[in-house]
Amino acid sequence: MGSCKEEDGNQPNCLWVDGPIIVGAGPSGLAVSACLKENGVPSVILEGSDCIASLWQQKTYDRLKLHLPKQFCELPLLGFPENFPKYPTKHQFISYMQYYAIHFSIEPKFKQVVQSAEYDVVCGVWRVRTQDCEYVSRWIIVATGENAEPFIPDIQGIEKFQGHVRHTSVYKCGSEFQDQRVLVIGCGNSGMEVSLDLCRYNATPHIVVRNTVHILPREIFGFSTFAVAMALLKWLPLWLVDKFLLMVTNFTIGNTDTLGLKRPKTGPIQLKNATGKTPVLDVGALSQIKAGKIKVAEGVREITRKGAKFVDGQEREFDSIILATGYKSNVPAWLKGCDFFTKEGMPKTPFPNGWKGDNGLYTVGFTRRGLLGTASDAVKIAKDIADQWRLNKGCKKH
Ligand SMILES: Cc1cc2nc3c(=O)[nH]c(=O)nc-3n(C[C@H](O)[C@H](O)[C@H](O)COP(=O)(O)OP(=O)(O)OC[C@H]3O[C@@H](n4cnc5c(N)ncnc54)[C@H](O)[C@@H]3O)c2cc1C
């Protein structure tokens, strides 16, 4: 990496990067950097926060474990340590990523928030600007994640509420909510797990289930539900696998409709593939719902000073509100002059073809398939860039 321009002092403000610029040092950025290195291609990672895997280190709750078994969450080239449990804790996952970065000598440039990136048609390069510098390269790899920023929907009246309101990205542990009445808005994996955590601290969570939701047992007959689905998909059509999953789910956890958790008409995997909506893999919240410790509420009509009015006409008081409303991509805010992404910041071309755009643009980790998708993207990108790299080096020699 070399400097091509100098500011008044000694600080360079424009740097030429020999290999690709990777934006984001989460699992995706690390994975693609390692795969490039394995292919002899250097890279520079620009990371906005002050650590690797900032989502996992800074925005997740204490009791989080991987939702999927470890074999589906490994990064390429270096697996989990053998002594890790089937579902590693977030702390184990973070330690794995820290070791991964050390093992491949990956040293991201921290506190470099990418504010804009644009292809310079005249020079045939990407100009990537942070608050400190402009980085220039032939390639850019977007690895800022599907979950870059909390998604906070408009909720009527929320500004009037006098208690605490927080998003799950800043929720750590239920101890702060001891004995409180808590409204949890959103019933995905985070909403369910936070509600369960709150129960442990004698809080009374009311979880809002505005739409339909697929709840599946995390394991069926001792095997991970996800692993069973993956295995069956090799042999059976998707609709049949969905039917099988729902049949077994009905048998093991019963009809969730009677608990106020209505199932979508579309099957869980088909829905995930079509919309990205992940089924909830139950780790204990359902039994608390059955026991009446977590109350299920229909949609909220409006938030009041002291609580909420629900669509069924009921009104309740709450001490706190937790928004388990998910995350969104931030790509549209900084990637300019490029129509590869939708306005929601996801590649327009769906998996498995969304990893490569025009003019040296790549994306890793935007597959709606978690870390499994990341691993698949990282390997493909590294091979594609390595082919161009070798060609380029070969040309220079002659
Ligand atoms: C609570 C929770 C549990 C999950 N559990 C699982 C699971 O069990 N299995 C699974 O496969 N997936 C799981 N996921 C999905 C998970 O987010 C991804 O699998 C994984 O973190 C994606 O990695 P990533 O590197 O693509 O994105 P991220 O982990 O989000 O990393 C992106 C990085 O980019 C940085 N960044 C963002 N914008 C900029 C910018 N403008 N400039 C510079 N840097 C920037 C961020 O600071 C961050 O460090 C979970 C997600 C959540 C929220």
Give the integer Cα–Cα distance in Å for 203 and 207. Answer: 12
Burial 297-331 (b: 16+ CB within 10 A, else e): beebbebbeebbbbeeeeeeebbbbbbbbbbbbbb
Tell me whether strands 307-310 and 300-303 are parallel, antiparallel or unpaired: antiparallel
What does CATH list as the number for 151-323?
3.50.50.60
Q: How many A from CA of 370 to the centre of ligand 1? A: 9
Q: Give the orientation angle of helix 238-253 with respect to helix 225-233, to 10 degrees.
A: 150
DSSP symbols for 262-329: PPPSS-HHHHHHHH--PPEEESSHHHHHHTTSSEEE--EEEE-SSEEEETTS-EEE-SEEEE---EE-
Mean pLDDT per 10-residue section of the chain, whose length is 398 residues: 49 87 98 98 98 98 95 97 96 98 98 98 97 97 98 96 97 96 97 97 96 94 94 96 96 93 95 89 96 95 97 96 97 96 94 94 95 96 97 68
In this prediction, residue 1 carries a pLDDT of: 59
Give yes or no for residue 55 CB within 6 A of ligand 1: yes
In this prediction, residue 351 carries a pLDDT of: 86
Q: Where along the chain do its domains lie?
A: 2-148+329-397, 151-323
SS3 for 217? strand
In single-letter form, the type of residue at position 98 comes to Q
Q: How many A from CA of 149 to the centre of ligand 1? A: 10
Q: How many A from CA of 333 to the centre of ligand 1? A: 17
Alpha helices, DSSP H, located in the chain: 27-38, 54-58, 90-103, 189-200, 225-233, 238-253, 268-275, 285-290, 331-334, 370-397
Q: How many A from CA of 366 to the centre of ligand 1? A: 10
The residue to mutate among 55, 60, 65, 75, having the most atoms of ligand 1 within 8 angstroms of its beta carbon, is: 55
Residue 353 token pair: 């073809």
The residue to mutate among 72, 371, 374, 376, having the most atoms of ligand 1 within 8 angstroms of its beta carbon, is: 371
Q: Which atom of ligand 1 is nearest to the CA of 112?
A: 43
CA-CA-CA-CA torsion sign (75, 98, 29, 366): positive
Give the integer Cα–Cα distance in Å for 264 and 271. Answer: 8
Q: Do 2-148+329-397 and 151-323 fold alike per CATH?
A: yes
Give yes or no for residue 334 CB within 6 A of ligand 1: yes
Residue 38 token pair: 């394995």
From the centroid of its chain, how far is CA 2?
33
Give yes or no for residue 143 CB within 6 A of ligand 1: yes
Residue (of 30, 24, 14) closest to 48 by Cα position: 24
Q: Which atom of ligand 1 is nearest to the CA of 65?
A: 8
Give yes or no for residue 64 CB within 6 A of ligand 1: yes
In this prediction, residue 301 carries a pLDDT of: 96
Give yes or no for residue 39 CB within 6 A of ligand 1: no
| 2-148+329-397 classified as CATH 3.50.50.60 | yes
Give yes or no for residue 35 CB within 6 A of ligand 1: no
Give the integer Cα–Cα distance in Å for 276 and 114. Answer: 26
